[in-house]
Amino acid sequence: MNNMKKILKILAAVIILSVFVYTIYFLYQKSQAMPVSFETTNPVRMEIVKSTMATGSVIPRKEIMIKPQVSGIIEELYVEPGNMVRKGDLIARIKIIPDMVSLNNAQSRLNRARIGLEDAKKQYERQRELLNQGVIAPAGYEVYELAYKNALEEVEASENNLELIKEGQTKSRTQTTNTLVRSTADGMVLAVPVEIGYSVIESNPFNDGTTIASIANMGDMIFQGRIDETEVGKIREGMPLILTVGAIEDASFDAILEHISPKGVEESGAIQFEIKADVSLKEDQFIRAGYSANAKVVLDRTDTVMAIPEAVVQFEGDSAYVEVETAPQQFEKKFIKTGLSDGINIEVKEGINLEDKIKRPGAQLK
């Protein structure tokens, strides 16, 4: 019986000791840090393009505003947005609403001219009879003949003046009337901001007049945008641009920078400079006026060169280096000579080769 108790005590002691030893071992293992494994990357051959961005829109180089030469009411419209027109094509017809004072004066002038004509005609016919009878000399007759012809001309001029005030054209209708509004350029009608029945004002030195239609050559487009003052010093006229239009997916357009504003304007606390670029369009390409666009201004570019992510490059003083894997998860520092960077990738001129595996600092394998 006593032997059994001893055995049980010894067994309990062994179990307790085993649990204690296992607990110590488990806690020790938990306290050990897991070994760190870093991701690596390889150099690749690629083209490096250093650029800056400008935002703006694509617009026609010249947009012609068609304005009337007389004031009145739109009586007919012959075009709508999207129509193609040639120079001289009819755009609209205007019905003149005459000024009552001018109309009254013109009517009074015509009445006086007719009275004068009637009197001159009587004098002319009387003198012609006297001439035929030999009572008067031809010189005396010619005075009355001239007065009669002048009276005829005055009546015609008065009638034309009255018609111009009322209708905007002479009664003969052989002259071009300014009540007909015609296109002054070839192109596409972009907008017709008036309707039949609208009142319009003529273009004159004191008023721009009412725009009846706007016309532009949609084959001659420019990019007009703004660029930040921190970037404007890096660009110059003649630089190539790559345009991306938000409304047109998977398409880009080439452009050439042709204007940089000499004066900046403040927008949201930053100074912006206006730029313009000539957009190159292919025959089958069409861009609607006013599309928003982003322009990538190419500051510098390389041919296909060896490049690595700029994030793997580290610096020591004025020197740049990367850590190259020499054995599994063992790295050696190698100094490199860098070239052009686009902000994401950087050219490597010497120091490593395409087969090297380069450590990504801070990127750990899971």
Same CATH fold, 66-96+179-216 and 38-48+303-364? no
Question: Does the structure show a pLDDT above 90 at 156?
Answer: no
Give residue 166's pLDDT band: very low, low, confident or very high (50, 70, 90): low
CB 325 within 8 Å of CB 40: yes
What is the architecture, at CATH level 2, of domain 100-167? Orthogonal Bundle (1.10)
Bigger pLDDT: 291 vs 169: 291
Question: Does the structure show a pLDDT above 60 at 161?
Answer: yes
Bigger pLDDT: 336 vs 206: 336
Instruction: State the chain's mean pLDDT as an integer.
Output: 83
**What's 66-96+179-216's CATH class?**
mainly beta
Instruction: List CB contacts of 88: < 8 A, sequence separation 6 or more.
Output: 182, 183
Bigger pLDDT: 86 vs 303: 86
Min mean pLDDT across 84-98, 125-139, 183-197, 330-344 is at 125-139
Give residue 187's pLDDT band: very low, low, confident or very high (50, 70, 90): very high
**Per-residue tokens: 151:** 């009276």
In the chain, domain spans: 38-48+303-364, 52-60+218-301, 66-96+179-216, 100-167
Question: Does the structure show a pLDDT above 60 at 83?
Answer: yes
Q: How many helices (H) and strands (E) does the chain have?
A: 4, 20
Bigger pLDDT: 69 vs 187: 187
Count of Cβ atoms closer than 10 Å to residue 162 Cβ = 21
Bigger pLDDT: 255 vs 109: 255
- The confidence score (pLDDT) of residue 159 equals 80
**Percent of the chain with pLDDT strictly greater than 70:** 88
Q: Which fold has domain 52-60+218-301?
A: Elongation Factor Tu (Ef-tu); domain 3 (2.40.30)
Alpha-carbon distance of 223 to 236, in angstroms, equals 15
Instruction: List CB contacts of 236: < 8 A, sequence separation 6 or more.
Output: 257, 260
**Percent of the chain with pLDDT strictly greater than 90:** 23
Question: Does the structure show a pLDDT above 60 at 330?
Answer: yes
Q: Across residues 130-141, what is the average pLDDT?
A: 79
Q: Which fold has domain 38-48+303-364?
A: 2.40.420
CA distances from 314 to 49, 68, 78, 289, 335 (A): 22, 69, 69, 47, 9
Question: Does the structure show a pLDDT above 90 at 172?
Answer: no
Give residue 168's pLDDT band: very low, low, confident or very high (50, 70, 90): low
Q: What is the pLDDT of residues 21-67, one digit of tens each?
A: 777 776 766 665 556 677 888 899 988 888 888 889 999 999 999 99
- The confidence score (pLDDT) of residue 249 equals 80
CB 231 within 8 Å of CB 52: yes
Instruction: List CB contacts of 294: < 8 A, sequence separation 6 or more.
Output: 53, 54, 55, 243, 244, 246
- The confidence score (pLDDT) of residue 341 equals 87
